[in-house]
Amino acid sequence: MRYQGREVDEGRVRLVMESALTARDRVGVQDFVLLENYNSEATFIENLRRRFRENLIYTYIGSVLVSVNPYKELEIYSKQQMERYRGVSFYEISPHIYAISDNTYRAMRTERRDQCILISGESGAGKTEASKKILLYYAVTCPTNDHMVTLGDRLLQSNPVLEAFGNAKTLRNDNSSRFGKYMDIQFDFKGATMGGHILNYLLEKSRVVHQNHGERNFHIFYQLLEGGDNDLLNTLNLERNPHSYHYLVKGNCPRVSSISDKNNWKVVRKALDVIGFTIEEVQKLLNIIASVLHLGNTLFGEGEEGETYVTTETQLSNVATLLGVDGSALREALTHKKLTAKGEEMISPLNFEQAVSARDALAKAVYGRTFNWLVEKINQSLALKAEINHSRKDTSVIGLLDIYGFEVLQCNSFEQFCINYCNEKLQQLFIELTLRSEQEEYEMEGIAWETVQYFDNKIICDLIEEKHKGIISILDEECLRPGETCDISFLEKLEDTVGGHPHFITHKLANGKTRRAMSREEFRLLHYAGEVNYNVNGFLDKNNDLLNRNLKEVMCQSENQILSHCFRREEVIDQKRPEMAASQFKNSLMKLMEILMSKEPSYVRCIKPNDSKQPGRFDEVLVRHQVKYLGLMENLRVRRAGFAYRRRFEAFLQRYKPLCPETWPNWNGKLADGVSALVNHLGYKTEEYKLGRSKIFIRFPKTLFTTEDALEAKKPEIAVTLQKSWRGYREKAKYQRIRHAVIVIQSGWRGMKARRRAKTRREAAQLIRRFIKGFIYRHEDYCAENDYFLDHVRYSFLKNLRKNLPKNVLDKSWPTPSTLLFEASEHLQRLHMRNMVIKYCRRVQPEWKKQMMQKVVASEIFKDQKGCYPHSVGRLFLDSRLEREQISLKVLQTLGSEKVQYGVSVIKYDRRGFKPRPRQLLLTNTFAVLVDRTKIKQKMDYAALRGISVSSLCDGMVVLHMPCEDNKQKVDVVLHCTHVIEMVTKLAMMASKTNYVNISPGSIRFAVSRTKEGIIDFIRGSELKVAKGKRGHLLVTAPQISIT
């Protein structure tokens, strides 16, 4: 019985399915069981169309999930969606692949019984994508640890590897699985993945050597050529162009716009690493893939006597090298066969057709067995590790069956026969398990089981698989019969043996109308899903699927470890003929049926809406075809044979109780009595429902829809009642909470205030006592009696000091400290002043620092000695009093590398006669020059400068004392400068002669010549005058400058 999950959560039932019924006219019903006209195929398909149009690609048939491929990305597979479906009952929210995944997982954990999910559908219907979504759901939602994360990655990465080696582009699907896959996922008792195992069925090996027009070989060949790097291709002797290989061009479709072989190659290589393939194993595997391509290019010629020989020795050599076999032995095995008669071995040459068949048989055998080895290798990586010790009782299994759906092609051959036989068996299992599940549920609920009429396809299964009489037995017998056998003889034997079977028709046995639709090489089987014509051409060869014995011997000697594992020596030694392909498939299918019968199944039926892979397009004819072949209508009829709708009492009562006064708002009695009262009030007729032990069964969807519509009409009234009751309850509760809170706050606040007041008084009294005691002992050393008082004094002083600290270095104010803190106050004052000075100095810019240094030097020289010094203090010293353009270019060239550091206009007075002459005084780093326009009149080295004399009055006279060695050499220089303080300061600093500046109060003596002196007399006057005075002296009248 399917696990329905917990439908009551914390006293409320969460149901979404029924609420969606109100939108059924637009989006259809989400469970086909609820269709009123469930026998109508048109109604079924219309419901599918409505949901597909609204991007609702999932629909239930009871517990079966029907999925329609949207051919576009839908935002319904995120991690948030996974969490939405995790742990939720199967019917609580809308249909989804995650719902069936989660329901299966919880059933496995709760019932401790193995589960399986059967995914079927046509090629291109989305089976592989569905299995990926299920695997991804388990990888994300199941408990994990480091080992389980690695295992989950391997489970997911096994998909791209198997797709590369087992999938191909067909006319119907660009990524069609050409093999059946059953995967077991093993879980421990905690529900965490702990292992996996894969079984593969009926790989379409014939695709290796032949493809229909518009189809491709297996993906791995194109991925290797497109994505492999040049070094790898050179190692394998391959060209990048797929047109170069016969096995890749038969379908005339080597490249597909929707497939990126280059990107897929990267995915496959990464997946191989994740799964655990070694570099050596990957190289051996690629050697085999490349050898198949070279084998396809191995050609034969025919001699005059009919003998066959290899014409492409290079290709044969490449094949032998890649397979690790002897080239001459391989050549011999491809052109000759070994026969054993009466204990003697004979070598017989092959004709041209036989050699080509032997080559193709070898290619198919090598690829098919390598694929089996690949699956085996993946199983080893997914197997339980030895260190993880679990008994079988501790583990549970969920199986995933991704297998080909019913196939009806233009020309149906041996592969379609096996595929459709498989689907017959699955349909038989499906109907049997569905009926059994229904019958178990009815018996558990105590409801009488009504016999269900359905088509039992056992008669078709027996026709195919019955011993000695079935089609497979006849096919095997014809393959083993000595003498000339062919496909037509097989058809004739079928006519003789099963010709009278109602589900078997041939051209010979058919009536006139049917004969026109069949060829003479076909037989028709009437399957559960419809009629299919099978062409017998190739049946015997494909069923034999045998390699020549000598080819097996060559392969057994291969140095390639993969091939030596695939081709055992026992095959050559054992004289017993191996099983035929059809019998092998039948036996593996029987084992699969046993596996599925031992598990609780769930079903996913995949449908493709159109053949052109266009999103939004719904091809009704194609969909009807698939609905028929998937047996969906048969499934629906079985599910609807009894009751269309069933729900547990608590869920039904919780949802519809507003419709009955007795059950609204709450029912306090037994659930069964409440449901009975509800349905009686709703007017259900006896034939419309039955009450089981824990569920109500409703026969007709119309009854449910009427109930749902009544609920929708009732909802506004319910909403008003609920709003009114809730608002009253909310306001009353709010008032009670506020009133209680006010009382609590008031009492708490009053108590706190009283305690705080008492505490404050207590602390105040203690503080006053300590303060008085400290004042008494204030002159004693620091002790317990005066520590508080002294600390208070310090604290008060520091607090006052903080508010009244001087703000700049010129502010000399400082709070008066008490006697106890006098020493500390002085120390703090010094620290504070030092700190302010440091901060002030850090803020001074370089140019202001230079200015200050010059002002300091000027102060040292002139302060309290020169009358015009106070007037100059507030004025900035300039870098130069002459603009660059005012200095002659010729003078600058004469100075050369010496740069003018300062320039000023001066008046020079001759030593004899004191005639004034305008000049420019230019100061460099090493000397000073007097310039008359473009000519340097006098150069004065700083080293030779004996002194600088100025008066103490407010005049601009300066005397530069120079040494006088002879009469020819120029001696002292008498200058007048408007900026005398600035000029003298800069000259003294550049010449490093600050101590050589002489300030005379009355007169200045200067050398006129080596033997004669001149005198400059200074007097005070109203304005500045310079003139020749008595006795040949220079008289300078200096004005008085007032300083404000």
Sorted by sequence, the CB contacts under 8 Å of residue 998 that are 6+ apart come out as 947, 948, 949, 950, 1004
Backbone angles phi, psi at 794, to 5 degrees: -60, -45
Q: Which region holds residue 1005: left if phi is over 0, alpha if psi is between -120 and 50, else beta?
A: beta
Are residues 32 and 43 in contact, defined by beta-carbon separation less than 8 angstroms? Answer: no
Per-residue exposure over 895-919, b if at least 16 CB sit within 10 Å of its own CB, e if not? beeeebebbbebbbbebeebeeeeb
Residue among 89, 176, 193, 533 flagged as catalytic: 176
What 1001-1004 contacts at long range (C-beta under 8 Å, 24+ apart), as own/partner pairs, is 1001/951, 1001/952, 1003/1033, 1004/949, 1004/950, 1004/951, 1004/957, 1004/959
The active-site residue, picked from 128, 200, 420, 457, is 128
Cα–Cα distance for residue pair 358/862, rounded to 1 Å: 123
Q: Which of 173, 610, 786, 825 is catalytic?
A: 173
Amino acid at 976: H
Please say if 370 is a catalytic residue.
no
Give every CB contact of residue 182 below 8 A, 6+ residues apart in sequence: 198, 199, 200, 201, 399, 400, 401, 402, 403, 592, 595
177 is catalytic: yes
Phi, psi dihedrals of residue 769, rounded to the nearest 5°: -60, -45
CA atoms of 263 and 260, how far apart (whole Å): 5
495 catalytic residue (yes or no): no
Per-residue DSSP letter, 943: G
**Residue 682 to residue 240: CA distance in whole angstroms:** 74
Structure tokens at 231: 């070094």
The question of whether 128 is a catalytic residue gets the answer yes
646-658 CB burial, b ≥16 within 10 A, e <16: bbbbbbbbbbbbb
Q: Which residue has the tokens 């491929």?
A: 69
Q: Which of 59, 159, 177, 1037 is catalytic?
A: 177
- The DSSP secondary-structure symbol of 344 reads E
The CA distance from 941 to 136, in Å, is 95
> Helices in 74-145 by DSSP H: which ranges?
79-85, 97-111, 127-141
CB 307 within 8 A of CB 349: yes
The yes-or-no answer on residue 583 being catalytic is: no
CA atoms within 13 A on the CB side of 44: 22
Burial class (CB in 10 A: 0-12, 13-18, 19+), 1034: buried
Catalytic pick among 399, 405, 867, 956: 405
**First-to-last C-alpha distance (Å) of the chain:** 115
Q: Which of 1034, 53, 174, 29 is nearest to 611 (CA)?
A: 174
Contact between 524 and 531 (Cβ < 8 Å): yes
What are the CA-CA distances from residue 1004 to residues 283, 950, 961 (Å)? 110, 8, 11
Cβ atoms of residues 351 and 295 within 8 Å? no
- Rg of the chain (C-alpha set): 55
- Identify whether 173 is a catalytic site residue: yes
Query: 28, 62, 124, 368: which is the annotated catalytic residue?
Result: 124
List for the chain the helix, strand, coil content (%; round to 5). Answer: 50, 15, 35
CB–CB of 388/395 below 8 Å?
no
Closest CA to 152 of 166, 161, 141: 141
405 is catalytic: yes
| C-alpha–C-alpha distance, residues 393 and 385, integer Å | 17
Write the DSSP assignment of 462-475 as a string of letters. HHHH-TTTSHHHHH
Query: What φ, ψ does residue 859 adopt, rounded to 5°?
Result: -65, -40
DSSP E strand boundaries for 446-599 = 504-506, 522-527, 530-535
Residue type, 408: V
| Neighbour tally for 373: CB within 10 Å | 19
Are the CB atoms for 862 and 869 separated by under 8 Å?
Answer: yes
For residue 775 the two structure tokens come to 């004042």
Q: How many residues belong to the chain?
A: 1044
Task: Catalogue the active-site residues.
Answer: 123-124, 128, 173, 176-177, 405, 407
